[in-house]
Amino acid sequence: MGHHAWPPVRLTFLLKDKAKQIRRLDFYLHFPIETKVRLHTMLTTERISEQFSNISSDNLPNLLKEFKDDINYTVTGTASPFSGTYTSQGEVLEKVYKPILACFSEGMTGKVRNVFVSGDYAILEITAEAKQKNGELFRQEMCWVCRYEGDKIAELRYYADTAATEKLLKENAGK
């Protein structure tokens, strides 16, 4: 396992010797850091709100950049054909987002309604809508429970209206 060295830390002591003269003693300490150490970035509701301020199908590449390459992305439920766990940005794009976005005649837009942060976790309440190929308006309310590692989402649990998703696919897929 590799190490990253931090810059040396200098400790300075001012000591009086027997002749009551002040002497300066400098110690330089070197600390190797294991590469597995997680560096914590302070999550705040403001930071998360800004991170997801432009949720839209047009902004999908930027949204995916918020995910770690090896994200653990779980779509909950059993009624949706998307239910399951995906383990990469590419897999999420190909197996979840592209099939859904193909059902729309116009781009999807979303809005973060609420954000809750605790430690490495952020919970987002999101609403989204788009015009379907059948002409109807698709509305979705969802909740993302995200675990962060640094600035990236390492795990995401996606809770949504699976009946609305099922209806969207039934009436618009392949058209």
- Tens-digit pLDDT profile for residues 52-73: 887 877 778 888 889 999 999 9
Q: How big is the chain, counted in residues?
A: 175
Distance of CA 56 to the CA centre of its chain: 16
At 115, list the tokens. 């954000």
In the prediction, which pLDDT does 1 show? 42
**159, exposed or middle or buried, with CB in 10 Å at 0-12, 13-18, 19+?**
middle
- Tens-digit pLDDT profile for residues 68-113: 999 999 999 887 889 999 999 999 999 999 999 999 998 889 999 9
As beta bridge partners, residue 129 has 109, 139
Q: Strand 121-131 to strand 137-149: parallel, antiparallel, or no bridges (unpaired)?
A: antiparallel
Whether the full predicted model's pTM is greater than 0.75, yes or no, is no
Residue 168: partners with Cβ closer than 8 Å, 6 or more residues away: 100, 103, 132, 138
Contact between residue 73 and residue 67 where contact means Cβ atoms under 8 Å apart: yes
Q: Average pLDDT in the 141-164 region?
A: 92
Q: Strand 152-160 to strand 67-75: parallel, antiparallel, or no bridges (unpaired)?
A: parallel
All domains of the chain, ordered by start, with CATH? 3-34 (no CATH), 45-172 (3.10.450.50)
In the prediction, which pLDDT does 36 show? 41
Please give the residue that has the higher pLDDT: either 52 or 13.
Answer: 52
